[in-house]
Amino acid sequence: MDEGSKTALPVGAFEFNCRAVGAEHSCRFGKDNTELSHPDVLARFIEEAKQVTEELEFVSRIESPKNDYAINMDDFDVRWSEKIARKTVWSKLNQSPEIKPRMKIELDDVSNRLREVPNIGGGRPDFVLSDGIHRVVVEIEKAAKKGLWWDFVKLGNFIRQKEADFGLLLVPRNRVRKDAVTDLFREARFCRWCLTEILGANQDVLAKVGIVGYTQEVLENGSWKPLDKELLKNIKSKARDYFSTSQ
C-alpha cells in the first residue's frame, strides 16, 4: 500500500485492494483531431498528476448488500490528494501545516470566496490544489458518463470566475457495472470534442482543462487484474458470502 495515513473504513465493510495503472493524458478525440496545447504550468502539473496516479493503491469497500452491493471507491480520492501533497508542491487549500503565514492568509481568502461560486452540477469540486501561486480545481469522476458534462461545467465555471487557474478531470478507462464496462477516459474526450466542435465552447477556457485517464486493477489471488465484468461478479459474490456469514 502506498505510504501515508490509512482511511478509516466502516466496521463490517467488505474490503478489497485496488490500484490505478496506465496513467495517460490526452484531450484529443478522433484520429484527425490534434492534441490540445496546454499552458506550461498546467502541462507540468499534468505530468505530476500522471506520476501520482500511476500505481496508486487504494482500498475499495462494499458497505452493505444495498444497491446491488454498491462499491465505494472514495479512498482513491483521499490517497490521491495525500500523495500529490507529499510528492509535489501542490496541496489542498488550507491543508499545508508549514505554509508561510502570508500564503496561508491568501489561501484562507480563496477558500472563503470559493463558497460564493455558484453551486453548479449538484456539488462542489472534489478539491482545489495550490502551489502558492496557481490554483487547480480537480474533479475525479468514477460514477457515470453523464456526470462528465457537469464536471466540465464546474471546472469551466471555476476558471471563468477566476477562482482557479486550471482544471483537471481524472477518470478511469474501466468504469464497470454488471451489464457494461464504460471507458470514461474516452467519454470525457468525446464530451470535450462536442463542447468545442458542436457547441463552440470557449477554447481559451477548455485549453486550461486537462484530462488524465487510468485503468483500475484489483488484487485477486495475489495478482493484479484489470477490473472487468467477470471480476466484478466475483467480488460481489464474495461480498454476498461475507455479509451472509456476518449476520
What pLDDT digit, counting tens, does each position of 66-89 carry? 888 999 999 999 999 999 999 999
Q: Is residue 216 part of a domain?
A: yes
Q: Is residue 4 part of a domain?
A: no
- The predicted model gives 11-20 an average pLDDT of 90
Q: Is residue 8 part of a domain?
A: no
Beta bridge partners of 58: 18
State how far the alpha carbon of 186 is from the alpha carbons of 34, 43, 150, 180, 181, in Å. Answer: 15, 20, 16, 15, 12
Q: Is residue 230 part of a domain?
A: yes
- The beta strand positions in 79-126, using DSSP E, are 91-92
Q: Look at residue 94 and tell me whether its pLDDT is greater than 90.
A: no
pTM: 0.84
- The predicted model gives 116-121 an average pLDDT of 55
DSSP-derived secondary structure letter, 194: I
Q: With bands split at pLDDT 50, 70 and 90, how would you rate the model's confidence at 144?
A: confident
- Residue 56 φ then ψ, to 5°: -75, 120
DSSP-derived secondary structure letter, 97: T
- Residue 121 φ then ψ, to 5°: 90, 10
Task: Kindly report the CATH number assigned to the domain that includes residue 215.
Answer: 3.40.91
Q: How many domains does the chain have?
A: 1
Say how far apart CA 64 and CA 150 lie, in whole Å: 29
On whether the CB atoms of residues 141 and 192 are closer than 8 A, the answer is: no
- Residue 169 φ then ψ, to 5°: -110, 120
Report CA torsion sign: 183, 189, 192, 193.
Answer: negative
Top mean pLDDT of 110-114, 191-195, 213-217 is at 213-217
DSSP run (H or E) holding 155: helix 147-160
Q: Is residue 149 part of a domain?
A: yes
Q: Is residue 9 part of a domain?
A: no
Q: Is residue 6 part of a domain?
A: no
Interval 26-52: pLDDT, tens: 999 987 677 878 999 999 999 999 999
Cell matching residue 188: 470525457
pLDDT score for 219: 97
- Residue 236: give the domain boundaries: 14-246
Q: Is residue 128 part of a domain?
A: yes
